[in-house]
């Protein structure tokens, strides 16, 4: 939307973490002994370490990465939770999405 590669999002109270998503861009990537063009996106997470341990934040980002890389699995595993969130969001527009770590 703003053609930004990456940025650091600021945590607003009472949030304990926030994910910043950069734009998707074509980049040269090594694949074996070849160079191919792939679409890449940067995602960063800011955490309040009084609430979220760094390992927990890293596990969240790993789960988010897996979900983005495998959209079908994301739809199957999270469809009900997203539908539940949409229903709750209609009742309380200030609610936020919380993805639970499946492990």
For residue 96, the number of C-alpha atoms closer than 13 Å in the C-beta half-sphere is 11
The first and second tokens of residue 27, run together, are: 């980049």
pTM of the model: 0.61
What pLDDT does 34 receive?
Answer: 96
Given 49, 62, 81, 89, which residue is catalytic? 49
The verdict on whether 49 is a catalytic residue reads: yes
pLDDT value of position 7: 84
pLDDT at 65: 87
User: Per residue of the chain (103 residues), what is the pLDDT tens digit?
Assistant: 577 788 888 998 888 889 998 888 899 999 999 999 999 888 999 999 888 888 888 888 888 888 888 876 655 555 545 555 455 545 554 544 444 444 4
What the block records as the tokens of 97 is 């999405």
Q: For residue 14, is the peptide bond before it cis, meaning its omega torsion is within 30 degrees of 0?
A: yes
Q: Which residues pair with 25 in a beta bridge?
A: 40
């Amino acid at each position: 939307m703003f053609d930004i590669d990456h940025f650091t999002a600021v945590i607003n109270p009472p949030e304990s973490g926030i994910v910043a998503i950069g734009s998707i861009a074509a980049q040269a990537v090594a694949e074996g002994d070849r160079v191919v063009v792939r679409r890449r996106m940067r995602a960063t997470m800011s955490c309040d370490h009084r609430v979220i341990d760094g390992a927990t934040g890293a596990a969240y980002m790993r789960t988010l990465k897996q979900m983005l890389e495998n959209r079908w699995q994301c739809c199957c595993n999270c469809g009900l939770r997203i539908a539940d969130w949409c229903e709750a969001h209609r009742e309380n527009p200030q609610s936020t999405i919380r993805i639970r770590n499946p492990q």
